[in-house]
């Protein structure tokens, strides 16, 4: 199975790529996703070694800022079990979790952030889910071509 390519969004105020680079083992668990489609991607399709674009949403400007990779495949998002956690969800039970997450590890930060306007004006990226109206998925697949193009724009 060849590696797949993904894009994950984070608000830099909450968790930025620099936070990931500084994290223990430069690795974090991608918790708090409470969207079924994104959940399915993490639970079923993201595999160890898959490459992931790290995207800053709600930034000025919004931009792709670097790359990380999947180091642990879908497992229950335990933050959903903790009533004190911001992402607590009483629907999710230990024996039948509703929500899943993966672990990602820092790979590199782009020399130059690739901004949303740049992505929108690049013809090769017109098909990206990211720029389709109304798409608010925080985890989404990208093609190898799109991934390579963004890496090229960022270096």
Enumerate residues 102-141 that contact DNA by CB under 7 A. 116-117, 133-138
Candidates 9, 43, 51, 109: give the one binding DNA (CB under 7 A).
9
Among 21, 23, 26, 34, contact with DNA (rule: CB under 7 A): 34
Compute how many residues bind DNA; rule: CB under 7 A.
19
Q: Is 62 in the site for DNA (CB under 7 A)?
A: yes
Q: Smallest Cα–Cα separation from 16: which of 52, 46, 57?
A: 57
Indicate whether 84 belongs to the interface with DNA (CB under 7 A). Answer: no
Tokens of 131: 């720029």
- The distance of closest approach from Cβ of residue 145 to DNA in the complex, given in angstroms and rounded to an integer, is 21
Residue nearer to DNA on the CB measure, 121 or 155: 121
Q: Which is nearer to DNA, 24 or 84 (CB)?
A: 84
CA separation for the pair 64, 110 (Å, rounded): 8
Q: Report the residue number, 33 or 67, with the smaller CB distance to DNA.
A: 33
User: Any residues with CB less than 8 A from the CB of 7 and at least 6 apart, and which?
Assistant: 52, 53, 55, 64, 128, 129, 130, 139, 140, 141, 142
As a whole number of angstroms, the distance between CA 149 and CA 20 comes to 23
36, 47, 107: which is closest to 72 by C-alpha? Answer: 47
Site of interaction with DNA (CB under 7 A): 9, 11, 34-36, 57-59, 61-62, 91, 116-117, 133-138
């Amino acid at each position: 199975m060849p590696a797949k390519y993904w894009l994950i969004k984070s608000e830099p105020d909450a968790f930025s790529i620099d936070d990931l680079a500084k994290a223990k083992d430069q690795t974090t668990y991608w918790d708090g996703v409470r969207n079924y489609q994104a959940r399915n991607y993490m639970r079923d399709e993201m595999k160890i070694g898959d490459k992931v674009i790290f995207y800053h949403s709600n930034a000025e400007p919004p931009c792709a800022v670097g790359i990380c990779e999947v180091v642990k495949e879908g497992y229950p998002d335990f933050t959903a079990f903790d009533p004190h956690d911001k992402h607590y969800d009483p629907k999710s039970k230990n024996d039948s979790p509703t929500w899943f997450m993966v672990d990602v590890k820092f790979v590199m930060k782009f020399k130059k952030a690739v901004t949303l306007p740049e992505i929108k004006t690049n013809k090769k990226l017109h098909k990206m889910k990211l720029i389709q109206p109304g798409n608010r998925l925080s985890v989404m697949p990208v093609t190898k071509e799109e991934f390579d193009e963004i890496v090229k724009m960022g270096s």
